[in-house]
Chain A
Amino acid sequence: MGKIVYAAAMSHVLYPDYYSQNVGPHGRRMVEALIDVVRDMGRTLAAAAPDALVVVADDHLNVFSFDAVPALCVRVGRSVNRMVQDNAIEFDRALEGLPERYPVHEDLANSILERGLQAGFDFAASWSAPLDHAFLSPVSTLYGARPVPPLVPFWVNCFVAPQPTAQRCFAVGRHIARVVAEGPWKVAVIATGGLSHFPELSLARVGQSDVAFDRRVVKWMEAGNYEPMTALTAKELHESGSHELLNWLVLLGAVSPARARTRFFGEMGRIDLAALEWDVA
Chain B
Amino acid sequence: MSRYETNVVLYRLKKDSAFRDRFRADPGSALAGADLTDEEREAFMRWDTRKLNDLGGSLHLLISIPGLAGH
Contact = CB atoms under 8 A, between A and B. Distances in A.
Interface of A: 60-62, 65-67, 85-92, 159-160, 198, 201-204, 206
Which of A89, A91, A204 has the most B CB atoms < 10 Å from its CB? A89
Contacts of A86: 17, 66
Nearest to B7: A66
Interface in B15-71: 15, 17, 49-50, 53, 58-67, 69-71
Given A201-B53, A203-B49, A203-B53, 17 more contacts: A60-B64, A61-B10, A61-B58, A65-B7, A66-B4, A66-B8, A87-B66, A88-B66, A89-B63, A89-B65, A159-B59, A198-B59, A201-B58, A202-B59, A203-B50, A203-B70, A204-B50
B53 A66 contact: no
A86 B16 CA distance: 9
A206 B70 CA distance: 10
Contacts, number: 60
Contact of A89 (B4, B53, B66): B66
Nearest to B10: A61
B61 to A, nearest CB: 5
B59 A87 contact: no
18 contacts: A61-B7, A61-B10, A62-B64, A65-B8, A66-B4, A66-B7, A66-B11, A85-B14, A85-B66, A86-B66, A89-B66, A90-B64, A198-B59, A201-B53, A203-B62, A204-B50, A204-B53, A206-B63
Interface of B: 4, 7-8, 10-11, 14-15, 17, 49-50, 53, 58-67, 69-71
A90 B63 CA distance: 10
A211 to B, nearest CB: 21
B48 to A, nearest CB: 10
B60 A159 contact: yes
